[in-house]
């Protein structure tokens, strides 16, 4: 069944801003259809007058009128096509923007389970399928539908017998096409799903090319690529089979209608009901009736893709984030208290994933710095993600400033709580835009003030064009240390009350190590902080220590007291060497 109602329901809100252009398009289309229907009438008159022996002086105006109408029709058709494309792409570009915004607000669980390539195919590929159909639908479906009705009416006026026969064949054609369309939509949906899988796979491989080649996994990846292609090819063949079935059905009925027109035209001419010009007119209109049917058939192929895309876009829009943004509390300025109150967490509780944190409880007073230690997989990074509310705990609560994170407005929470990891996301833009996250309201004077306070003048001076230096996405042409300096500046611009440094100094290079140490010192001034680290120098900044093992706290207390206690786990770590003991 054709999801026309779902299609228009999806785009209703997006078409409203373009109402005037839509009415203009309707007027232009109506004029082109009228001209297209008028020209055969001129030819009918021309033929009949020629056979009647009218002089050339009476025939020339008809010929000139025919050429003027034909030329005007082509000009108006170009204009109508331009308007339709403009409306279609403008509306769907807005849909792309809203889909992107919707995806960015979905929880991290969704993003972990969905590859970037698949998201690109959903946001761009599926919407492009809708846009192609939408821009063509106005011209080729609605316009040709009106043209077809006009043809049938004019044929009926010439001869109700021929009109009834052609109307019956037309109804039979559409019935067959719609039945075939209902069969082939699931085929197109499977093609779109495999297409998304393919682009997701390609995105993953491009991102991991270095690791794939270094570990000799090229053959395995090619085998996976071949497997997806082997699944995709039969689906594409099946999709084209659907097109061939529809084409064959429409062509068979077209030839039958021509044969019927020839038989009825000859008979009606023989009995004197139609003139030669009228017989030509009937044949011409039968041929014209095939054009819109053929165009609509072609658009039904796009409609199959659009139908599949409507479902996928609708599913994506219906997807709700597990992180609800309905908090009303607004956090104040200055350092904030941070509390973990019996927090229990697993990444996918419904799937029965292993519990990562088991009733973890500790409290960080405003302005205190906590060193969070533990082996890889002990739950340190998970705790950092809970503080910024990238995930929601299944048990207990994380409190910031004395309020559970779900009671705090999400935007306010993430403005007052900042996290820096060892992997810094850079954008293909200037250093200025990378520092401000494209916020034009932040002046260069404020940027320079922050850079000076962090003692990063030397770093900025080392860049070829200062703030105007262009960076590439990914590593951006910066060393790991330089990228960390950029991340620290971002955080300082926000002036948060809580800072989480998740292994942020684990990839220092000698050229920037001193600069980063100074930047960290400034960053922690008058702020509550959690330091997740393996390095002794980083933990030396902490006022308190929390040690995790298998998602449970095995030791916590003031750093100085734990250092003085020879039996403490922390003292043993210092003796054994933190980097080796926590590896």
Q: What is the 3-state secondary structure (H, E, C) of 374-421?
A: ECCCCCHHHHHHHHCCCCCCCEEEEEECCEEHHHECHHHHHHHEEEEE
Q: What is the pLDDT of residue 397?
A: 93
- 216 against 77, higher pLDDT: 77
CA 215 to chain centre: 32
Q: Could you tell me if 477 and 424 are in contact, meaning their C-beta atoms sit under 8 angstroms apart?
A: no
How many angstroms separate the most distant Cα atoms in the chain?
123
Q: What is the pTM of this model?
A: 0.63
Rounded to whole angstroms, the Cα distance separating 220 from 17 reads 50
Q: Could you tell me if 424 and 461 are in contact, meaning their C-beta atoms sit under 8 angstroms apart?
A: no
Structural domains of the chain ordered from first start: 4-318 (1.20.1560.10), 338-581 (3.40.50.300)
Q: What is the pLDDT of residue 407?
A: 92
How many C-beta neighbours within 10 Å does residue 562 have? Answer: 21
pLDDT-wise least confident of 14-23, 55-64, 72-81: 14-23
- 581 against 197, higher pLDDT: 197
How many C-beta neighbours within 10 Å does residue 187 have? Answer: 18
Query: Stretch 85-105: mean pLDDT, rounded?
Result: 81
The angle at the Cα of 265, spanning 263 to 271, to the nearest 5 degrees, equals 105
- 402 against 245, higher pLDDT: 402
Q: What is the pLDDT of residue 561?
A: 92
Q: What is the pLDDT of residue 297?
A: 66
- The model's confidence at residue 9, banded by pLDDT at 50, 70 and 90, is low
- The model's confidence at residue 2, banded by pLDDT at 50, 70 and 90, is very low
329 pLDDT exceeds 70?
yes
- pLDDT tens digits, residue range 126-177? 777 777 666 666 566 677 777 777 777 877 777 777 777 777 777 777 776 6
Percent with pLDDT over 90 in the chain = 10
- The model's confidence at residue 1, banded by pLDDT at 50, 70 and 90, is very low
- The model's confidence at residue 181, banded by pLDDT at 50, 70 and 90, is low
Q: Which burial class, exposed, middle or buried, applies to 163 when counting CB atoms under 10 A from its CB (0-12, 13-18, 19+)?
A: buried
What are 541's two structure tokens? 């900044």
- pLDDT tens digits, residue range 466-515? 888 887 765 556 677 777 778 888 888 888 999 998 876 555 556 666 77
Q: What is the pLDDT of residue 361?
A: 92
pLDDT-wise least confident of 65-74, 219-228, 396-405: 219-228
Q: In what order do the strands lie in the sheet with 395-400?
A: 357-364, 338-345, 395-400, 403-404
DSSP 465: T
How many C-beta neighbours within 10 Å does residue 338 have? Answer: 25
Rounded to whole angstroms, the Cα distance separating 499 from 418 reads 5
The CA distances from residue 500 to 256, 347, 365, 403, in Å, are: 75, 20, 14, 18
Each residue of 32-56: b (16+ CB within 10 Å) or e? bbebbbebbbbbbbbbbeeeeeeee
398 pLDDT exceeds 90?
yes
Q: Could you tell me if 522 and 453 are in contact, meaning their C-beta atoms sit under 8 angstroms apart?
A: yes
Three-state secondary structure call for residue 535: coil
Average pLDDT of the chain, as a whole number: 78
Q: What is the pLDDT of residue 97?
A: 84
What are 391's two structure tokens? 């995930």
Query: Stretch 256-262: mean pLDDT, rounded?
Result: 73
Q: What is the pLDDT of residue 403?
A: 92
Q: In what order do the strands lie in the sheet with 544-549?
A: 417-421, 498-502, 528-532, 369-374, 544-549, 552-558
Q: What is the pLDDT of residue 199?
A: 74
Rounded to whole angstroms, the Cα distance separating 286 from 281 reads 9
């Amino acid at each position: 069944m054709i999801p026309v109602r779902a299609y228009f329901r999806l785009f209703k809100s997006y078409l409203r801003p373009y109402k005037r252009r839509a009415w203009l398009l309707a007027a232009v289309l109506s004029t082109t259809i009228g001209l297209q229907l008028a020209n055969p009438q001129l030819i009918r008159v021309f033929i009949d007058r020629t056979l009647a022996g009218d002089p050339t002086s009476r025939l020339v105006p008809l010929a000139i009128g025919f050429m003027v109408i034909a030329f005007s029709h082509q000009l108006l058709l170009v204009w109508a096509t331009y308007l339709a494309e403009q409306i279609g792409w403008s509306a769907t570009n807005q849909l792309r923007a809203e889909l992107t915004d919707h995806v960015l607000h979905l929880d991290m669980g969704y993003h972990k389970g969905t590859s970037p390539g698949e998201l690109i195919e959903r946001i761009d590929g599926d919407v492009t399928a809708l846009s192609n159909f939408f821009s063509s639908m106005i011209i080729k479906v609605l316009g040709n539908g009106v043209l077809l009705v006009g043809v049938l009416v004019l044929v009926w006026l010439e001869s109700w017998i021929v009109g009834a026969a052609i109307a019956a064949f037309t109804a039979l054609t559409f019935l067959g096409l719609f039945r075939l369309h209902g069969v082939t939509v699931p085929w197109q949906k499977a093609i779109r799903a495999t297409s998304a899988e393919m682009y997701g796979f390609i995105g993953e491989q491009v991102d991991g090319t270095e690791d794939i080649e270094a570990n000799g996994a090229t053959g395995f990846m090619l085998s996976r690529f071949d497997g997806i292609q082997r699944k995709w090819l039969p689906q594409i063949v099946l999709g084209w089979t659907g097109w061939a079935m529809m084409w064959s059905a429409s062509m068979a009925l077209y030839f039958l209608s021509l044969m019927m027109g020839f038989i009825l035209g000859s008979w009606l001419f023989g009995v004197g009901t139609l003139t030669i010009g009228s017989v030509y007119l009937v044949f011409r209109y039968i041929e014209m009736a095939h054009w819109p049917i053929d165009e609509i058939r072609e658009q039904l192929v796009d409609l199959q893709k659009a139908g599949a895309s409507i479902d996928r876009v609708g599913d994506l829009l219906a997807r709700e984030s597990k992180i609800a943004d309905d908090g009303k509390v607004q956090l104040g300025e200055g350092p904030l208290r941070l509390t973990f109150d019996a927090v229990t967490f697993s990444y996918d509780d419904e799937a029965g994933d292993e519990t990562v944190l088991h009733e973890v409880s500790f409290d960080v007073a405003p302005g205190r710095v906590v060193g969070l230690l533990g082996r890889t997989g002990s739950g340190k990074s998970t705790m950092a993600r809970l503080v910024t509310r990238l995930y929601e705990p299944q048990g207990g609560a994380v409190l910031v400033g004395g309020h559970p994170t779900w009671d705090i407005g999400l935007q306010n929470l993430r403005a007052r709580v900042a996290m820096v990891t060892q992997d810094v996301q850079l954008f293909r833009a200037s250093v200025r835009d990378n520092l401000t996250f494209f916020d034009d309201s932040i002046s260069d004077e404020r940027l320079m003030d922050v850079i000076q306070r962090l003692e990063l003048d030397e770093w900025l001076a080392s860049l070829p064009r200062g703030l105007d230096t262009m960076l590439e996405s990914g590593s951006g042409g910066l060393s790991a240390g330089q990228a960390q300096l950029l991340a620290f500046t971002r955080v300082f611009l926000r002036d948060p009350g809580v800072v989480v440094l998740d292994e942020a100094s684990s990839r220092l290079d000698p050229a920037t190590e001193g600069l980063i140490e100074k930047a960290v010192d400034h960053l922690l001034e008058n702020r509550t902080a959690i330091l997740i680290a393996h390095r002794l120098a980083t933990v030396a900044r902490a006022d308190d220590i929390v040690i995790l093992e298998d998602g449970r706290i095995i030791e916590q207390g003031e750093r100085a007291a734990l250092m003085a206690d020879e039996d403490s786990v922390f003292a043993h770590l210092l003796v054994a060497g933190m980097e080796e003991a926590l590896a």
